[in-house]
Structure 1
Amino acid sequence: MNRQLQKFLESTDFIRAVKVAIAAATPVILFSYLDLFSIGFTIALGALFTFISDIPGNLRHRINGMLASNLIATGSTVIVSLATVNHWIFYPVLILLVFFLSMIAVYGHRATLVSFSGLLAMSLSFAHSYTGWDLLEHAGLMIAGGLFYLCISMTFHYIRPYRYAELQMAECILLTARYLKLRGKLWDAHANRDKITEKLLTLQIELNDIHEKLRETLIRNRTKSGSSNQNRRLLIAHIELEEILELAMATSFDYEKLHQAFGKYSYVLNAYQHLAYNLAALLNQLGQSVEKGKKYTSEHRPYKELESFKKAIDRYEAEAGLSSSGTSEEVLMLINMFNYVEKQVEKIKVVEYTFTPAVKPKELKRGDRELEKLLTLHHYSPITLTQNLSFSSTIFRHSLRLTLTVLAGFLIGNILTIQNTYWILLTIVVIMRPGYGLTKQRSYHRTIGTLAGGAIAFGIISIVHNTTILGILAMTCMVLGFSFTQRNYPIAATFITLYVIFVYGMLSPDIQDVILFRITDTLIGTVLAFSANHFLWPSWEFLSLPTFLEDSIKATRDYIREISVFYNKKGEVPLSYPLARKHAFIETGNLMASFQRMTQEPKSRQKQLRQFYTLVVLNHALLSSAASLGAFIQSRKTTKASEAFNAITNAIIKNLDNAAALLTEGQKIPVDTETRKMLNLRFTELKAIREKEIRASNGVHDDTFKLKMEESQLVIQHLIGLTNLSENIEKAVREIQKNR
């Protein structure tokens, strides 16, 4: 409990909530004492709108995002206030403003928050209209509030400049530990592997997101501000953690076959599983240490566990009566497992050393320019906006949907003479999302939170009438509400409702009516938002899932191509390799996220759900198999790539090209029976080369011979796995296309 509390108090969400609470409360309290509450409240609004886009990331992007939020929120308020003067121009201005603010989201996540800030300001501007000098004063105070929040945010940043990166790193290490532990559970004889695979896919989405955040923060900090010792340590740890993830995916075997082969020698698999759990525990301890900001002292001895696994392999060879030549398939399989986990131990120790102050961090192999290529570029060109002005764009459809819903909410509020029409608009803006599933979830959570908050507030207001106590409660609820927005939306909605009602309780005597209006307006806004997402150009996931699948197949294909190029050229791993790996991981995560959204939609819209899930799992297995081959050739001094190897790799790439082309509307690819025949000949050729080398050895099995035999056997196994998976993916895509 103490650890969870400490984690919460040091979390980015809580720190952000504290910053906005300070920025909002300070002017309100100060100007209230001067009997100028309205000035303090306006400054607090400016701080709130600026806070919304203050998400972690590169410092320059953070500052630009906050300034953009401040200016767009202020501009939206001014535009609405000017438009209300003339009813003839009001509705066209409202429609264009909401549509434009919504379309800003095409520029990425930070831009989406800037858009949200503008939409919130637009909604709240209906609470009070300003004209003339009052409007200029109001706009100036909002800008001042935004700049005040910016100063507070920068103060927090410079007090602990690397704390966000450390917390993200800690989370990354902890998630990687969970990933390794789940991988370890796959080795249980009676494990529910389908369920574990589903959890691994979900976890990979989180890991992709956190790796992207770390790249953005650490690489940009290095290239823009120079390389500090702490930034270098964190960047090295991040690079190693990406490779640990690749190695974890590489340890993907035929578990049924393994348990059959080693059924009488279960101690071998148990030793491997125990080692995997030990590595997960080591990373978990390290992650907690980084999270708490405490000195790390390792309690685990992975090299000792590695030695135990090696002894288990030797014992198996002795008891099974196998030769130690390494030519038997079972021994080669065990040696392969040992090599992977040995490499993983080495990389985990590097991560461990980076958080040991006494150890000097190693220098990065790649320069700043190369590292920058690993970043995801954001294009803010007007062309990006114009390219999305069509119904094929999810953001365009969402913008139209939101515009019409806001207009409907405004008209309903005026027709029914609702006291606070802007609450309906706020509810619509907060709830509506491009996807049906998230809007449905938010609608439900918002309703529950508002009802719970209203009920609790009613009970407290009935007893407590002291404005000081209500003020303290309002501030507490504000901090907790913003802290839980990303973690638990129903709880966040409950605390935000409490905060709003307590503020009104300090200002208005008829608070019971306020609670009733708040609940009524929220319900109206929720019904409108949910209905609009269901009936107005809905973005059903089954329509976009094939695109995500195509992108994932292409990214994995490019990764396999890079592995093949490296196997042929040898030498240092080129930058194109980690770039291809990064894209393959990200696109596989995007595919799984799209599938998860599909499962939240109505049953009637979950078309070919089982077939798509099969493809999601097959694509993940393909990525794991590719990572396995890539990790193998990186960790060994390999022989020259044969023509047969290249022919088989090209056939695998061709299968994936066919699958991607089949997903592109209108393309028909005939079934290629000749390729399969050619592959069989090539596999026969590879096996013949191996047998020839065995005969040529004349029974002399030295270390060089063993390494050659391991390489040929394992490469053949990887190629067989990749070939079967690529063929199954093409076959599954054909089935989907046939039934569409």
Structure 2
Amino acid sequence: MSPFKLLPQSVRHLGVSQLSYGIRVFIALCGAITMSLVTDRIDMVIPLFLGVIASALAETEDGWQGRLRALSITLVLFLVTAFGVQLLMSHPWAMGISIAVVAFSMSMGGALGRRYGQISQATLILAVYTMIGLNQATQAVPVWYEPALLTLGALWYGVLSVIWAALFVHIPLRQALATLYVEVGRYLKLKSRLFPLITSEAVDSLRLDLAQQHGQVVVALNKVRAILVSRIDSSPQNPRLGRYIQLYFIAQAIHERASSSHYDYADLAETFFHSDILFRIQRQLYEAGVSCEKIGEAVRSKQAIDLHDSEIAVAGLKKSMAYLAQNAVPVRGRLFRSLRQLSDNVVSLQQELDKARSLEDISLTDASQQIPQPPVNFRAILSQIVDQLTPKSQVFRHAVRMSIGLTCGYAIIQTTDISVGYWVMLTTLFVCLPTFGSTRKRLYERIVGTVVGLVLAWSLITLFPLDLIQLLIAVVAGVVFFLTRTHRYVLATSAITLMVICCFNQVSDGYDVILPRLFDTLIGSVISWLAVFFILPDWSYRQLPITFAEGLRRSSDYLRDLMGFYQAQAVSEQVYRHSRRRANNADALLTSTLVNMQQEPGHFRRDTELWQRLVIRSHTLFNYIAAFGAHREALIAQTSDPLLIAAGEYIVNSLTEVAQCLEDRSLVVDCTTEFEQLRAQLDECSTQENEQHYFVLSQLLSLLGQLEDIRKLTRELQIQVHGEAVTSKE
């Protein structure tokens, strides 16, 4: 049995990566305390602690070489920022202007990706930490003192991080892969509820849940891909990395098969109502989901992979299909072929699971050919930033809000006599997020967590007046903060509040900062709420048409590339994977935008029912396209039919047309007659079609149904929202 299995369930849920994160923070904070005690300068604890926290917040998931590069950038930014704050603290006007400029510039770092966004955010946090430290200084210190200690704390944690990454190369990657397989497993178990078919209302609700879970899978896929790219750059000779890349490709294949839809499940359920086949499919999908979760657990803890239950389920499915094949009646003939395609997809899904069990370490060059690394140079970086310098960009809007919010917080501090007022700016930094829904949620969590943390801090510093015990409490609280800050923010806020009070109690009276901490948190939260509500607000109902149009374009490109396989065109695997990833991302973004709108104030939740139906149709359309990807080998193997090629081109062009109409705010044309004519041609072909073409034909008919609904719903939405403001092309 793995030692990881012996840990409590709540601890195992955190994962090895999170636990190692906590261990690094624990070592770093203990080291800061040791240095303060050895030098007999207890006042060094606060800046050293703050430097450690800022560095840990800036930590990336790269290999040791990537972390070393990121640490170099981080330390330079920290040092320049800390000295800049030190020099400008006595010049309020210059400081206010600098805060506005630096906050905007650092927030625009998010345009370069998550890695640089983290470093930029941590730099802003360190700037405020510097202000807090200087504001609380009880005696005159040299100009270099505060910046040097903050940077020293950051360097200390950064060195630990680099060493840890060199010693435990694949822990973050294993954790990310484990999370990916768990999310895919949840998607499979959720999809199993479609069989046997439930009521139409419940189907729509379930498909919306599937779209949201699909978004979680896409996030996990992107995270694993980013880590793999960084590992290929820093550890190209590591054969184990080749195995992890294969696991990533297998997860992609499972996800593609899991997200595939074949024919209309309602027709299948009605035709095979008296058979157990749909229950067999349901069980197999559910057990496959469980097997995915087992693979995730095995990757996380290096255990053997047990697929026994899903293997039994797929064996039962094969027997049931064999029985139906022998006893099929003519009326079931056509739908039996659709059922066989569905069952073949489920069986192939089990084969992908089997591959994960038998993987071995291989040469990296064999497995990494289809993970192209993006170019990294000054021109590419500049282009990424310039492309986001527009009010249409969420990064730009957030940067403007952050700049104005922090500047307003600084103005309040300068014009009022707020004790420890820089916590106002710190709260704004942590609470003000890119969307209103996430900001509102974070605001409530921050306030509740602060109240709980202050009560806990008052109790503990009263019960344990010894400085050493309070420092140990501060260390434990700091570790808890980093273990919980991404998924239990109330607890994380309580922990960091407790840590702060315990630290301040070492250099002054901790009781004196309890109420200021609460008032500053409330002021900072109000500033964040006002900023996200009034300054270039990201109301999702405004973003949904463009996001929906982008999703349709990406689905159109995805289908075009897949039909290229059918037409025997030279479509490379890399081009196909790139197209699939963009379609996945666009579909996930559309769903998350809808979820964000549902979290916004009532008068900003517009046409929610129509948008829900459109998102469901868009995701279902994506599912039918994904089935082409799951069976692309069959597409390549067969000869093409001109009518099916024309139908595929019509769907591709129609999706692009709807996207263009949404972008131009022109009315989508009613194409009911065209749909009826094309459907009649395909139905006529269906009585004579080659067995090889049936899959393509049935999927195109399903896509036509979804496309027709999308056009009608989009037209209805445009008329309802814009009325006469939308120009008609009819």
Residues of 2 paired with 1:561 and 1:442: CA distance? 41
1:171 has 2:176 as partner: no
After TM superposition, list the pairs within 5 Å mapping 1:629-640 onto structure 2.
629-635=628-634, 638-640=637-639
- In structure 1, list runs of 5 or more residues that go unmatched: 355-359, 691-707
| CA gap 1:184/1:362 in 2 versus in 1, 3 angstroms | farther
Q: Is the 8 A contact 1:9 1:15 kept in 2?
A: no
Decide whether aligned partners of structure 1 residues 376 and 727 sit closer, same or farther in structure 2, where only a CA change above 3 A counts: farther
The one-letter code matched in structure 1 to 2:224 is: L
Q: Classify the secondary structure of the residue corresponding to 1:250.
A: coil
After TM superposition, list the pairs within 5 Å mapping 1:649-688 onto structure 2: 649-667=648-666, 670-672=669-671, 675-676=674-675, 679-680=678-679, 682-684=681-683, 686-687=685-686
1:287 aligns with 2:296: yes
What CA distance in whole angstroms lies between the structure 2 residues aligned with 1:572 and 1:623?
20
Tell me the matched-pair count. Answer: 711
**Deviations 1:299-324 (Å, cap 9, x if unpaired)?**
5064543332222123334555459x
Q: In the superposition, relative to structure 1, how do residues 370 and 264 fare at CA in structure 2: closer, same or farther (>3 Å)? A: closer
Deviation of 1:684 after TM superposition, in Å, equals: 4.8
Q: Which residue of 1 is the match for residue 727 of structure 2? A: none
Q: 1:518 to 1:164 in 2, by over 3 A?
A: same
Query: Offset at 1:424?
Result: 1.0
Q: How does 1:176-191 map to 2 (within 5 A)?
A: 176-190=184-198
Letter in 1 for 2:524: G
Report 1:338-353 matches (<5 A): 338-353=343-358
Letter in 2 for 1:592: T
Structure 1, 443-452 or 53-62: larger mean CA deviation:
53-62
Give, in angstroms, the shift of residue 42 of structure 1.
3.3
Question: Structure 1 pair 387/299, CA: closer, same or farther in 2 (3 Å)?
Answer: closer
Structure 2: 5+ residue stretches without partners: 1-5, 722-730
Separation (CA, whole Å) in 2 of partners of 1:391 and 1:575: 33
- Cα offset for 1:330? 3.2
Offset at 1:461? 2.2
Corresponding residue of 1:515? 514
List per-residue Cα deviations over 1:182-211 (Å, max 9, x = no partner): 111210444733333233222222211121
Cα 1:335–1:98 change in 2 (3 A) is: closer
Name the counterpart of 1:698: none
Where does residue 603 of structure 1 map in the other structure?
A: 602
Instruction: State the alpha-carbon separation in 2 of the partners of residues 607 and 448 from structure 1.
Output: 30
User: Which residue is 1:734 aligned to?
Assistant: 715
Identical counterparts, % of pairs:
21
- Partner of 1:577 in structure 2? 576
The aligned counterpart of 1:696 is: none
Residue in 2 that maps onto 1:695 = none
* Deviation by residue 1:104-157 (Cα, 9 ceiling, x = unmatched): 222222222222112212222223169999223443443333332221012211
Secondary structure, counterpart of 2:566 in structure 1: helix
Distance in 2 of aligned mates of 1:94 and 1:330: 66
Normalising by structure 2, we get a TM-score of 0.91
Counterpart of 2:279 in structure 1 is: 270
Q: Which residue identity lines up with residue 568 of structure 1 in the other structure?
A: Q
Q: Which moved more, 1:480-489 or 1:183-192?
A: 183-192
Report what 1:435 is aligned to.
435
- What amino acid does structure 2 have at the position aligned with 1:664? E
Change (3 A) 1:376 1:545: farther
For the residue of structure 2 that corresponds to 1:371, the secondary structure is coil
Give the Cα separation in 2 of the matches to 1:94 and 1:55.
Answer: 25
8 Å Cα contact 2:454-2:514 kept in structure 1: yes
CA deviation map 1:440-470 (0-9, x unaligned): 1111110000011111222222222111211
Please give the residue correspondences for 1:283-682 in structure 2 after superposition, counting only pairs within 5 Å: 283-294=292-303, 296-298=304-306, 300=308, 302-318=310-326, 321=329, 328-354=333-359, 360=360, 368=368, 370-372=370-372, 381-509=381-509, 511-569=510-568, 574-635=573-634, 638-667=637-666, 670-672=669-671, 675-676=674-675, 679-680=678-679, 682=681
User: For the structure 1 residues 329 and 59, does the alpha-carbon distance in structure 2 shift closer, same or farther, using more than 3 Å as the test?
Assistant: farther
Do the aligned residues in 1 keep the contact of 2:48 with 2:152 (CA within 8 Å)? yes
Kindly state the Cα deviation for residue 242 of structure 1 after the two structures are TM-superposed.
0.2
Check the 8 A contact 1:662/1:734 in 2, yes or no: no
* Matching residue's letter, 2:512: D
- Which AA in structure 1 matches 2:324? Y
Task: Find out whether 1:229 has 2:210 as its counterpart.
Answer: no
Match of 2:85 in 1: 80
1:616-656 C-alpha deviation (Å, 9 max, x unpaired): 11111011101113323424774211110111001101110
Residue 70 of structure 2 is aligned to residue 65 of structure 1: yes
Q: Decide whether aligned partners of structure 1 residues 714 and 101 sit closer, same or farther in structure 2, where only a CA change above 3 A counts.
A: closer
Structure 1 window deviating more from structure 2 (681-690 vs 615-624): it is: 681-690
Q: Using the alignment, how far apart are the partners of 2:91 and 2:190 within structure 1?
A: 63
Q: Is the 8 A contact 1:8 1:14 kept in 2?
A: no
**Offset of residue 9 of structure 1:** 5.5
Residue by residue over 1:408-449, the C-alpha shift from the partner in whole angstroms, topping out at 9 and shown as x without a partner, is 222323333111011111111111112111111111110000
Specify the alignment match of 2:728 in structure 1.
Answer: none
Change (3 A) 1:610 1:59: farther
Q: What per-residue deviation string (whole Å, max 9, x for no partner) do you get for residues 262-308 of structure 1?
A: 1222x1222222222222222222222222233x1525064543332
Structure 1 residue 350: Cα displacement: 0.5
Tell me which amino acid in the other structure corresponds to 2:575. Answer: S
Matched-pair contact (CA < 8 Å) for 2:46–2:504? no
- In 2, the alpha carbon distance for the partners of 1:637 and 1:369 equals 21
User: 720-729 or 69-78: which moved more?
Assistant: 69-78
Could you say if the C-alpha distance between residues 596 and 58 of structure 1 is closer, same or farther in structure 2, counting changes exceeding 3 Å? farther
CA contact (8 A) 1:662 1:733 kept: no
> Residues of 2 paired with 1:572 and 1:583: CA distance?
16
Contact 1:103–1:395 (CA under 8 A) maintained in structure 2: yes
Contact 1:173–1:287 under 8 Å retained in 2? yes
Q: C-alpha distance in 2, partners of 1:389/1:189?
A: 48
Q: 1:317 to 1:372 in 2, by over 3 A?
A: closer
RMSD: 2.8
Contact 1:47 1:148 in 2 (8 A): yes
- The answer to whether the 8 Å contact 1:278/1:300 transfers is no
Deviation at 1:685, TM superposition (A): 5.5
Letter matched to residue 581 of structure 1: R
Deviation at 1:496, TM superposition (A): 1.0
What amino acid sits opposite 2:720 in the alignment? Answer: N
Distance 1:80 1:195, change over 3 A: same
Question: Secondary structure of 1:421's match?
Answer: coil
Change (3 A) 1:311 1:389: closer
- Aligned equivalents of 1:715 and 1:575: distance in 2? 23
Kept after mapping to 1: 8 A contact 2:431/2:442: yes
SS at match of 2:639: coil
The code of the aligned residue for 1:579 comes to H
Please say if residues 564 and 571 of structure 2, whose CA atoms lie closer than 8 Å, have aligned partners that are also in contact. no
Call closer, same or farther: CA 1:374–1:532 in 2, change over 3 Å: closer
Change (3 A) 1:636 1:646: closer
> Equivalents in 2 of 1:252, 1:330: separation in Å?
11
Secondary structure of 2:606's partner? coil
Partner-residue secondary structure (3-state), 2:573: coil
Note closer, same or farther for the CA distance 1:676–1:493 as it changes in structure 2 (3 Å cut): same
Q: Using the alignment, how far apart are the partners of 1:608 and 1:59 within structure 2?
A: 49
Question: Is 2:212 the counterpart of 1:202?
Answer: yes
Q: Are 2:151 and 1:151 equivalent residues in the alignment?
A: no
Deviation at 1:87, TM superposition (A): 4.2
- Tell me which moved more, 408-417 or 583-592: 408-417
Give the corresponding residue for 1:693. none
For 2:587, what is the secondary structure of its paired residue? helix
> Residue type of the partner of 1:719?
L
| Residue of structure 2 equivalent to 1:254 | 264
